[in-house]
Chains A and B, each alone.
Chain A
Amino acid sequence: MSNIAIRVEGLGKMYRIGGKQERYRTLRDTLTDAFTAPFRRASSLLRGQAYGAANLNETIWALKDVSFEVKHGEVVGIIGRNGAGKSTLLKILSRITEPTEGYADVYGRVGSLLEVGTGFHPELTGRENIYLNGAILGMSRAEIDRKFDEIVAFAEIEKFIDTPVKHYSSGMGLRLGFAVAAHLEPEILVVDEVLAVGDAQFQKKCLGKMSEVAGEGRTVLFVSHNMDAVATLCSRAFVFDAGARVFGGSSSEAIDFYYDSIFGRTKKQSHIVFEQPATLQHTATITRIEILDVHRNPVSAIHTWDEVVFRIQYAAIDRIEKGSIILDIRDRKDQRLLVMDSGLKVPIRKGVHQIDCVVSRMPLASGEYFLSAGIAVSNSQWIWREPHVGFLQIVGQDVFGIGRPPAYSRMMFAVEHRWVDSSGDHTAPVK
């Protein structure tokens, strides 16, 4: 029993959306509210509504009735779509926000890593920021002294250690941030999607560091959309959906469950791969993605080399002058195969609008893929992002006329090519 590291019982977190309480407001709002509230209440009572009923629909449970246990030394992955409550759970466990109901017992010191480089100050040098960031993450000065060289070596910034961080490239800043965080040694480590930083090589290094940490017998809760990372690092995994823990089991079972849940959801309405109501939390959200064929008719499956249209419907609270909509297509291993980025050319207009992404010739071989979507503003800041928005079925067709349609088992892409006999006098395509 004393082997438990984290015990969560009936944990829930309610947020008020569009409501007044969770958003900052001016004194005037409060004053006018104080004056008008009695009248509003009176009128709603007159209309026969219960007192306060008007406010009920303004709340949302980001997490509801979640219970689980994690043992010491376990590395547990947490997967699920955006808004499933994963990050809320981590925020509660790292004591950034309080739960609304339920409780969590934590045995051991918790170190949380929800972001890389929190509290970096651009005017300070790398050396100074290591100390500052380390202190913010909960390291003592002696501890930082001891690990200083290791941190610098890991971040590969030896030469720039006394340069102000504002002169660093964004990659260097991220590397330094991760390096400091990676040298935290709490008994329980809570990590949110921070491995997705830097270039591929650095990501590999981060992943290596994480498995080292996991191998040391420390307890780790690990939120990620990178299924490969979850599969390699975690022995167990939980799947979250709509604020509830819907599955718990070995990580490979959990990943299957997760993919199946996406798969199952999209099977019902085949040509609509993604649909969700607009929220006010983001300046802009994608509310629907539909797949159309060359004649703009809805289709459920795409054929290799066909023209495909992703019709994206978005809702924006404000006009975004320099925004881009980004779609990417990944395989089951979460490898990004295609990226369609509108660049900063298409302004995102206020209101609900539609935009088409036309892929004139789908290069993917037949197989199952996942679509991710996001809206970003300049310098690749996401204002809305949803990995694995939907499932894509690519159906093979014999585009090369060789009797075998290109399939994912043999290749990822089907590129247009031809064979030429170059030995003779005149070149002609091989028939």
Chain B
Amino acid sequence: METDIVQEVIEETATEQKAATTSVVAPATRAEPKPAYHLRIEPSRGWVSLKLRELWEYRELLYFLTWRDVKVRYKQTVLGAAWAIIQPFFTMVVFSLFFGNLAKIPSDGIPYPIFSYAALVPWTFFANGMSQSSNSLVGAANLIKKIYFPRLVIPISAVVSGVVDFALAFIVLLGMMLAYGIVPTINVIFLPLLLLLAFVTALGVGMWLSAMNVQFRDVRYTVPFLTQFWMFATPIAYPSSLIENDLLRTIYGINPMTGVIEGFRWALLDTNTAPGPMIIVSSLAAVALLVSGAFYFRRMEKTFAAVV
């Protein structure tokens, strides 16, 4: 964290309002021109700060980009937003048929369809968020080349816009629970936190991959593989209780999605795999991904406009 690209000096308060607060008058009539805002533009080296405050100033842009993604996503598709449901739902049907009925994989005493669907809903959110954000920078090349804004806005909005799809798929999940007569426990109040954990994981990976994608277009071809491998490394088609050793199960939490999925099942379906130490490991891993991803992203940021 040596030199920053830009040091924001003097009276930050004026920057709160984007509409220029200093009234713009001809210099002659201006009594004591005191610029409210000063930037120094100079070369940066090595690791740079995250500049979270600036990110916060650009929250409206984040809102608009997310809103655009949501609006545009299912334009000119026949089924429209139904796609948000079709993807996890039919995966569930296939899983139930092969893993549940044929392979007879245990499901912690829960009907297999709902067991797998409760996992597929957060998983789909994660997987889509990861792949959308990985390709987000390359897709926004013309913005990056023409306008300045904190580039982190782009992968973040790509993940955030997936929340709408998640909500749609989640409604179906509630419907299925109703059909199976499963009443969620009080633990549902933890769901937002679990969703946040999935969000953090997706964004952490997304920041790494999107910044790498600018340099190496290989990433685009890697993501589908990665998603597939990751899915089988996560207890979606099977319960993590297959691992009997407690220590090993905790270590399994290094995959943050393990914590998310088992957490979802615990909160909604009351499985007895109360996450405990596993979710702590998952959270730590997710935060590590997020922080390292953000710094890597910021470090590579200065090359984006020239390379993308």
Contact = CB atoms under 8 A, between A and B. Distances in A.
Interface of A: 2-3, 5, 15, 21-28, 30, 71-73, 91-110, 112, 114-115, 118-119, 121, 123-124, 128, 131-132, 135-143, 185-187, 216-218
B104 interface: no
Nearest to A23: B307
A100 B5 CA distance: 11
B37 A107 contact: yes
A143 B41 CA distance: 27
B191 interface: no
A97 B36 CA distance: 24
A118 B34 CA distance: 32
Contact of A73 (B19, B26, B37, B71): B26
B71 A26 contact: no
Which 9 A/B pairs are nearest by Cβ-Cβ distance? A107-B35, A103-B42, A95-B148, A135-B64, A217-B26, A73-B27, A104-B41, A140-B18, A27-B218
Contacts of B152: none
A98 B302 contact: yes
B72 to A, nearest CB: 5
B39 interface: yes
B77 to A, nearest CB: 11
B2 to A, nearest CB: 14
A103 B40 contact: yes
A92 B41 contact: yes
B142 interface: yes
A141 to B, nearest CB: 6
Interface of B: 5-6, 15, 17-20, 22, 24-27, 30, 32-44, 60-61, 63-65, 67-68, 71-72, 75-76, 142-149, 214-218, 302-303, 305-308
A123 B43 CA distance: 38
Given A22-B307, A71-B27, A107 B38 contact: yes
A135 B60 contact: yes
A28 B216 CA distance: 9
Contacts of A140: 17-19, 60
A25 B215 contact: yes
A115 B41 CA distance: 21
A71 B143 CA distance: 29
Q: Is the interface of A mostly helix, strand, loop or mixed?
A: loop
B109 to A, nearest CB: 45
A137 B217 contact: no
B44 to A, nearest CB: 6
Nearest to B140: A119
B19 A185 contact: yes
Contact of A97 (B24, B72, B215, B306): B306
Contact of B20 (A27, A136, A186): A186
Given A138-B149, A217-B25, 8 more contacts: A15-B306, A30-B216, A98-B44, A108-B37, A109-B37, A131-B64, A143-B18, A187-B24
Contacts of A71: 27
A108 B18 contact: no
Contacts of A108: 20, 22, 35-37
B220 to A, nearest CB: 11
Which of B22, B64, B308 is the most central at the interface, judged by chain A CB atoms within 10 Å of its CB?
A: B64
Contacts of B303: 21-22
A103 B308 CA distance: 24
A139 B149 CA distance: 12
B236 to A, nearest CB: 29
Contacts of B15: 109
B147 A218 contact: no
Contact of A24 (B36, B37, B60, B216): B216
A99 B42 contact: yes
Given A24-B307, A91-B305, A72 B33 contact: yes
A103 B144 CA distance: 21
Nearest to B71: A124
